Chains A and B, each alone.
Chain A
């Protein structure tokens, strides 16, 4: 049986997403950018796809497994893999 500490460790290893209001989203464990425009950003997220829709969307920084997205986020959709 797993204790609470081991449970937390498993959760940290998986993909994580953190929203700062509607203005910023930090994604850890993303698998790549599929589409990037000012109104739509699609990224691989775990085994699926996350689609951010909004206005003036911008990728602030992009690293191997994480990114920071800012702008006016209006909708977040979790989609099946392409």
Chain B
């Protein structure tokens, strides 16, 4: 059908009865190709189609066969060409469309990334863009193996990564490594030392010889449980992997400074709203409004364009630029103190679940510039850490 359309075809009909078969035979002998032949209405006569080039030759054949011939529909590229020849705009548009289609098919339109867990997708996309895989990047220089190898080198936490070229889309799939479980050395000779200074309030020793007692003060790095164990019965010395918990009362000081002045951005004047089109990573302004002079705040909405669920390398950006004047405003002491206590609460939460806070004492200091809150915490926590015995052990 495509070939017939390219050459152009004419529908014809032999109207008088009984001449149909004769006409068909004349055409066949003249080696004219006929198709879609149908018996005419009333059981006689015939209709069909033939190439437009052959139609010029069938008038003599029809006369010879005694057939009354009538031409019908004409379709195909030659007729379309004749219609469009007088409309250069359409021709130019069609040519431009094909040129753009060819040009755009040589670029990546979208990059899909699947499998990011701890690696930020933005960092991965930035690396991909650096290696030539980004919307608008030409595909000619694309080498999947080179990109994969470069990604593996850039992100050591990758277990594997594959970059596939699916038409105009780059499909990046990756799997991150699982962290190897920590191996505890239960066999080697280790002692327990103090991670912090404090007063020992509780001891649970499972292996080793304690060197401190409940109620004693210890300094950071001090030996708490020795790995050397003396047998009472045989008076022999043996080395062990010391294990246990040494709960101590420790003191920690947290501090938060809050200035008594704050900078506030006050909106001034009408906001500037402008639009731009992001195409293959390049931004084309759709409005002529310039950014306001001086300081301003910017807010924007990015709407990605998609067709049938497939993202296109185009997006519309709508941004609102609000001119502001930055002013310094005073902050009351109470306000500053409340902010400082909020900051201290965040610092306390960061200490972790293993630290039990038994007492707090706040000391507030006010100067002309800031409010400082110092919080002294009394905590109960396990201060023992395992220290292998070696030449580097203090």
Chain A residues engaging chain B, CB cutoff 8 angstroms: 32-38, 57-65
Q: How large is the interface on B (under 10, 10 to 19, 20 to 34, 35 or more residues)?
A: 10 to 19
Query: Residues of A contacting B36 with CB < 8 Å?
Result: 60-61
Chain A contacts for B20, CB-based, 8 A: 36
The minimal Cβ–Cβ distance linking A34 to chain B, given in whole angstroms, is: 6
- Asked whether B324 is an interface residue with its Cβ less than 8 Å from the other chain, the reply is no
Is B21 touching A61 in the complex (CB atoms < 8 A)?
Answer: no
14 interchain pairs (CB within 8 A)?
A32-B21, A32-B28, A35-B21, A37-B43, A37-B44, A57-B39, A61-B34, A61-B37, A62-B24, A62-B27, A62-B28, A62-B34, A63-B33, A64-B28
Contact of A61 among B25, B35, B39 (CB under 8 A): B35
**B46 within 8 Å of A by Cβ?**
yes
From residue B15, how far is it (CB to closest CB) to chain A in Å? Answer: 15
- Chain B residues near A34 (CB-CB < 8 A): 21
B69 to chain A, nearest CB (A): 16
A60 and B35 within 8 A (CB): yes
Contacting pair B35 A58 (CB below 8 A): no
- Bound-complex Cα distance A63 to B32 (A): 7
Asked whether B33 lies within 8 Å of A61 as measured between CB atoms, the reply is: yes
The contact of A36 among B31, B33, B35, B37, by CB within 8 Å, is B37
- Beyond contacts A32-B21, A36-B20, A64-B29: 19 other A-B pairs, Cβ-Cβ < 8 A, are A32-B29, A33-B21, A33-B25, A33-B28, A35-B21, A36-B21, A36-B37, A36-B39, A37-B39, A37-B43, A38-B39, A38-B43, A58-B38, A59-B34, A60-B35, A60-B36, A61-B37, A62-B24, A62-B34
Closest residue on chain B to residue A44 by CB atoms: B25
CB-CB < 8 A to B27: which residues of A? 62
How many angstroms between the C-alpha atoms of A59 and B44 in the bound complex? 14
Tell me the minimal C-beta distance from A32 to chain B in angstroms. Answer: 4
